[in-house]
Structure 1
Amino acid sequence: MKLLQALFFPPEQPGGVSSMIPYLQDKFEPPEWEMELFSLPKRIRGKGTDEIKFHTFDWRQYEYSAIVQKYMQTYRDYLWWTKLRLQQSYDLIHAHHPIAGLAMKEVYPDTPVIQSIHSSYERELILNRKIKEGGPEHRFLCSLYKELEHRADRMFTVSESFRGYLSPHVDHPEQIGVIRNGFDNKRFKPIPHHNDVVQLVTVCRLVPAKGLDVLLRACAELKRRGISYVLHIIGDGPIREELEQLAMELGIYDETIFYGYTLHPEEFMPFFDIFVLPSRAEAFGSVFAEAALCNLALVGTKIGGIAEQIEDGVNGLLVQPEDHLALAGALEKLIADEEYRSRLAGTGLDKAKNCYSLDRVVDELKNIYLQFKQSSE
């Protein structure tokens, strides 16, 4: 069976779907399976010129928005690149971004296209203060879900909570499947260690949606209570300077290390003690599963896919978003009790191995792919 995995970002892009898809190729072995990856290089800009029409709504009612214009140009570019680079046929295409799915169905109208939706771009833009909820950009991006439902042969997402998020924007939410992300256990190597001062770590893009301002305020509260720690922030993004300034204003800059972008944080994540990320929105939250596979205790917020991964007090701790005092309390509890911290980390590691293994995802995908093959025969 000849498969195409259509990504948006190049496979080397860190996080999210790129944590899983590139590792699938080793699991889909020829001659029964042939798998190819496809994505849009970052250097491709302003190449596409196709006239775009959708089946379920008129996107031109939103074309006065610069964000919508940019999105549509990116779609045209993806379409241009697809027509230029892909000349062969496939038995099945699995798209992992709305633009990828729409472009693939345009170029390969007779080929089954499975659409996986891994995150909400419009929610990210709202939380990152780029667009307004209910505004034209928000309405445009939400309209794409119904267009995808109309065009794709099957839709999937990464968590039950995100399927609920999509429900108001499609006609048949009950037909959306859930495939949770999976991770290759060989990438993660927990290492027994002891730190005299507890080491906190977070890994994310530095944007408002991740709630790092809340984390810094929680850490300032820990310092006010006389609790020792070091906070490691791995990642880069548009608000790095703002976060560094906030750390200085809160008097915790000496306790905080900003690493910037790191390609493989899982290589040294096992040397930390607690993973914490007070996100304001997460469709799944791949980094929590990755941290659990490194045997770190987890602290997250009661939202989206995080709350599906963490059972409070069993394999991690959950707090309400925006509550820096509750977050400080959860961190204090783990910092003060090494045995409790170790117990939560061990339970988290076991759950991650059982629920988020790459082999489990491979089995699910093979079954789905074969269903399409059988129906076409």
Structure 2
Amino acid sequence: MRILHITNHVQQIGNGIVNVAVDLACLQAKNGHHVAVASAGGEYETLLANYDVQHFHLDQSRTPINIIKAAWRYRQIIQEFQPDIVHAHMMTGVVLAGLLRNCGEYSLVSTVHNEFQRSAILMGLADRVIAVSNAVADSMVRRGISKSKLRVVANGTLNSPRNRSIKDCQPMLLCHPAITTVAGMYTRKGIVELIEAFVKIAAEVPQAHLYLVGNGPDRTMFEAMVQNTPFGNRIHFEGFQSEPQRYMLSSDIFVLASHCESFGLVLTEAREAGCAIIASDVDGIPETLDRGQAGLLVPPKDSQTLANALMYLLKDSEQLQKLKSQAKQNLERFSVTRVHEETLSLYYELLDNYRVFNLSISQELLVSK
């Protein structure tokens, strides 16, 4: 099978969408398929090449002139690579692939990673739409995408070809108790509420430290916020880390306080590392935490309840250890191999439908003669 993935870039910056696309491309190529990725490029080009995944440069920057150039370049790529399946992971890619294909030229698959974006409805241009959680699937149905197009393939990142085994990762030396998040520095990731919650408990737990791992456009605002608290020396901005698992392995509590979150890939890594987890009860997060069996669920945008949950675990070592143990259970379903196999099954479903359609057309032509 010839498979082309389209994503905006393949930079190693902790972007979950890119990570999923790179994982799929590598495993599909390892499985013997002819695989290519079209993107503006990035550090993962080397990894892709190691797996014999071809990379085509495709800049999808959204300016009128560049979109015209991208359309022209995309047609070149299709003519050269001749894919059976085009798998688009972001909005611009699915629009290009949907509008520029000739009838029957290839089957189109899209994955909805960020269903909270208004543009996510455009992913419905594909023949099949992958939802990364049941919550995402339900949301897309409400927004008008047909159930017959939708397939749920829950995200998974464990044993990714991008990462070393967690057994080979050296834990960071952190101050304890250590509270950590790994997230883009965006307001929607609940960083404000996490900082507020930490400030609420900091005086009562003077040994506790907060580690914010990740970069993003709102980081400067968060840093200014921290400077106006009396606990700035205990709140650490660690920036992007290529191996965030090192922080997780040394953390007592992992927090994901997102306002919206289709799945929460980072939670699977926190679970594998054995963190006690507190996360927002929103979108796909409850599915990722086994409906609250593998972590505490709190309302989003509620710093007081988050502070109460932190204090509960910090004051009850028995409950803290219990949550750490529960986090590591039932992890098999989060493997990249399972995601790869379920995605391939979807591709084959489309190809089988295509063959049946062509056979039917041929028979009709013969009868008409």
| Partner in structure 2 of residue 358 of structure 1 | 336
Match of 1:189 among 144, 151, 166: 166
CA deviation string 1:89-111 (max 9, x = no partner): 01111111121112123333321
Q: Does the aligned pair in 2 maintain the 1:17–1:181 contact within 8 Å?
A: no
Mapping for residues 59-78 of structure 1, pairs under 5 Å: 70=62, 75-76=67-68, 78=70
C-alpha spacing 1:216/1:73, structure 2 compared with 1 (3 Å):
farther
C-alpha spacing 1:189/1:263, structure 2 compared with 1 (3 Å):
closer
C-alpha spacing 1:11/1:5, structure 2 compared with 1 (3 Å):
farther
Q: Does the aligned pair in 1 maintain the 2:5–2:88 contact within 8 Å?
A: yes
Q: Does the aligned pair in 2 maintain the 1:95–1:114 contact within 8 Å?
A: yes
Q: Does the aligned pair in 2 maintain the 1:105–1:111 contact within 8 Å?
A: no
Q: State the 1:208 CA deviation.
A: 1.0
Q: Does the aligned pair in 1 maintain the 2:180–2:210 contact within 8 Å?
A: yes
Q: State the 1:264 CA deviation.
A: 2.7
| Partner in structure 1 of residue 233 of structure 2 | 254
Q: Does the aligned pair in 1 maintain the 2:21–2:89 contact within 8 Å?
A: no
C-alpha spacing 1:195/1:343, structure 2 compared with 1 (3 Å):
farther
- AA aligned opposite 1:8: N
Alpha-carbon separation, structure 2, partners of 1:310 and 1:345: 12
| Partner in structure 2 of residue 200 of structure 1 | 179
- AA aligned opposite 2:140: L
The question of 1:108 aligning with 2:101 is answered: yes
- Secondary structure at the aligned position of 2:81 is classed as coil
- Secondary structure at the aligned position of 1:170 is classed as coil
- Paired residues in the alignment total 334
Q: State the 1:224 CA deviation.
A: 3.3
Alpha-carbon separation, structure 1, partners of 2:154 and 2:298: 22
Alpha-carbon separation, structure 2, partners of 1:289 and 1:340: 20
Alpha-carbon separation, structure 2, partners of 1:121 and 1:80: 30
The question of 1:295 aligning with 2:274 is answered: yes
| Partner in structure 1 of residue 48 of structure 2 | none
| Partner in structure 2 of residue 314 of structure 1 | 293
Alpha-carbon separation, structure 2, partners of 1:153 and 1:247: 47
CA deviation string 1:90-141 (max 9, x = no partner): 111111112111212333332100111110463xxxxxxxxxxxxxxx5xx3
- Secondary structure at the aligned position of 2:258 is classed as coil
Match of 1:368 among 340, 346, 351: 346
- AA aligned opposite 1:34: H
Alpha-carbon separation, structure 2, partners of 1:100 and 1:70: 11
Q: State the 1:347 CA deviation.
A: 1.9
- Secondary structure at the aligned position of 1:295 is classed as coil
Match of 1:165 among 134, 139, 144: 139
Which stretch shifts more, 312-321 or 260-269? 260-269
- Secondary structure at the aligned position of 1:216 is classed as helix
Measured on the aligned residues, the alpha-carbon RMSD in Å equals 3.0
Match of 1:155 among 105, 124, 129: 129
The question of 1:223 aligning with 2:195 is answered: no
Q: Does the aligned pair in 2 maintain the 1:6–1:95 contact within 8 Å?
A: yes
C-alpha spacing 1:243/1:83, structure 2 compared with 1 (3 Å):
same
Mapping for residues 17-32 of structure 1, pairs under 5 Å: 17-29=17-29, 32=32
Q: Does the aligned pair in 1 maintain the 2:40–2:59 contact within 8 Å?
A: no
Which aligned segments of 4 or more residues in structure 1 are displaced greater than 6 angstroms?
71-74, 191-196
User: TM-score when scaled to structure 2?
Assistant: 0.80
Which stretch shifts more, 225-234 or 274-283? 225-234
C-alpha spacing 1:99/1:262, structure 2 compared with 1 (3 Å):
same
Q: Does the aligned pair in 1 maintain the 2:179–2:255 contact within 8 Å?
A: yes
Q: State the 1:206 CA deviation.
A: 0.9
Alpha-carbon separation, structure 2, partners of 1:120 and 1:348: 26
Structure 2 unmatched runs, 5+: 43-57, 356-369
CA deviation string 1:211-268 (max 9, x = no partner): 1111111001111334531111111122212211211222221111111222332244
CA deviation string 1:25-77 (max 9, x = no partner): 443256842222221348xxx988xxxxxxxxxxxxxxxxxxxx947666545
Mapping for residues 265-344 of structure 1, pairs under 5 Å: 265-311=244-290, 314-344=293-323
Q: Does the aligned pair in 2 maintain the 1:78–1:99 contact within 8 Å?
A: no
- AA aligned opposite 1:79: A
Q: State the 1:313 CA deviation.
A: 5.3
- Secondary structure at the aligned position of 2:328 is classed as helix
- Secondary structure at the aligned position of 1:362 is classed as helix
Structure 1 unmatched runs, 5+: 49-68, 123-137
- Secondary structure at the aligned position of 2:286 is classed as helix
Alpha-carbon separation, structure 1, partners of 2:108 and 2:342: 16
Q: Does the aligned pair in 2 maintain the 1:6–1:37 contact within 8 Å?
A: yes
Q: Does the aligned pair in 2 maintain the 1:315–1:348 contact within 8 Å?
A: yes
Q: Does the aligned pair in 2 maintain the 1:40–1:81 contact within 8 Å?
A: no
| Partner in structure 1 of residue 4 of structure 2 | 4
CA deviation string 1:301-343 (max 9, x = no partner): 1111112212465211111112111101111122223332232
Q: State the 1:159 CA deviation.
A: 1.3
Match of 1:236 among 215, 226, 239: 215
